[in-house]
Structure 1
Amino acid sequence: MRLKNDPLNCPCDSQRLYKNCCAIAHHHINDVNTAQQLMRSRYSAFVMGDIDYLQRSHHSSKRPSKKEAREMKQWTQSVEWVKLEVLQTSHGLKDDLTGTVAFKAFYMENGRLEIIHEHSRFCKENGHWVYLDALV
């Protein structure tokens, strides 16, 4: 699945082609080098309704149940994703074991612009980056 506006640009707003950006993570999660790259690839997976990738990129101890995953897929396909803004990144580089990324994800739901504003924690599990949870 691709964005409606431009069939080649990556949904994560990186100004790169999908095949040179989040597709790399979606096909080979071990090739994700940073927490921000994982966060961007997860946003793109939400846009594309790729729940399998969202499950794979979630820490095993906090991974949503199959029922929650089905509900997530239904919700992701019911909204229109607008854009992603990365606000801040702390640690989460190639040689780090943990990192955080603050972002805003904009989407339209029932004719209203909504925003997910999250400060996410990431860590390495089995040698690759995964989403751990949101800081409160």
Structure 2
Amino acid sequence: MPTPVLPCPCGLPAAYPQCCGRFHSGERQAPTAELLMRSRFSAFAVGDTAYLLRSWHSSTRPAGLELDPGQRWERLEVLATERGGMFETQGSVEFRAHYREGRHTGSMHELSGFSREDGAWVYVGPLSGVDFD
């Protein structure tokens, strides 16, 4: 788990507790689709499956989630965002997430859809095919 002096895994310059950690703990809700997407990347990086399931739309949420313990999510690039602001109800975020699995490095590219459910931003699913390099 990141320490307070290290930057958040999502790539923003704030420390984990002041950045995505506050969303993971339930202290705050992500105010935009992009911040929700960043917090979900951080949840993958720190292994917070409870947050990943909580922040998934009820219509597309799996019954359970098991993360690969050999896969480390290391870096996130936000490529584009459309809508998803504080006063909107839908949005999309295109991103590339970089990972390491043993000696192999790779990335995942996705255009993700987000919407509000009960007032909170949630991940709906990919709007385009998910590509792994």
Q: Residue 126 of structure 1: which of 97, 109, 118 is its match?
A: 118
| Distance in structure 2 (CA, Å) of the matches to 1:108 and 1:7 | 23
Structure with more of its chain in helix, by fraction: 1
1:114 aligned partner = 106
Displacement of 1:135: 1.1
2:90 aligned partner = 98
Displacement of 1:129: 0.2
Contact 2:70–2:102, Cα closer than 8 Å, also in 1: no
| Structure 1 pair 113–91 and aligned structure 2 pair: CA distance change class (3 A) | same
Uncovered stretches (5+) of structure 2, i.e. residues with no partner = 129-133
1:2 aligned partner = 2
| Distance in structure 2 (CA, Å) of the matches to 1:25 and 1:95 | 18
| Distance in structure 1 (CA, Å) of the matches to 2:51 and 2:74 | 20
| Distance in structure 1 (CA, Å) of the matches to 2:40 and 2:22 | 12
SS of equivalent to 1:31: coil
Runs of 4+ in structure 1 off by over 4 angstroms are: none
Q: Residue 51 of structure 1: which of 38, 49, 72 is its match?
A: 49
Residue 72 of structure 2 corresponds to residue 80 of structure 1: yes
Displacement of 1:30: 5.3
What is the RMSD of the two structures over their aligned residues, measured on CA atoms? 1.6
Contact 1:80–1:107, Cα closer than 8 Å, also in 2: yes
Displacement of 1:112: 1.4
Q: State the TM-score, normalizing by the size of structure 2.
A: 0.89
Displacement of 1:8: 2.5
Q: Residue 15 of structure 2: which of 17, 23, 34 is its match?
A: 17
Percent of pairs with identical residues: 41
Uncovered stretches (5+) of structure 1, i.e. residues with no partner = none
| Distance in structure 1 (CA, Å) of the matches to 2:27 and 2:80 | 22
SS of equivalent to 2:76: strand
Displacement of 1:29: 7.1
Kindly tell me the number of residue pairs found equivalent between the two proteins.
Answer: 128
Which deviates more, 105-114 or 40-49? 105-114
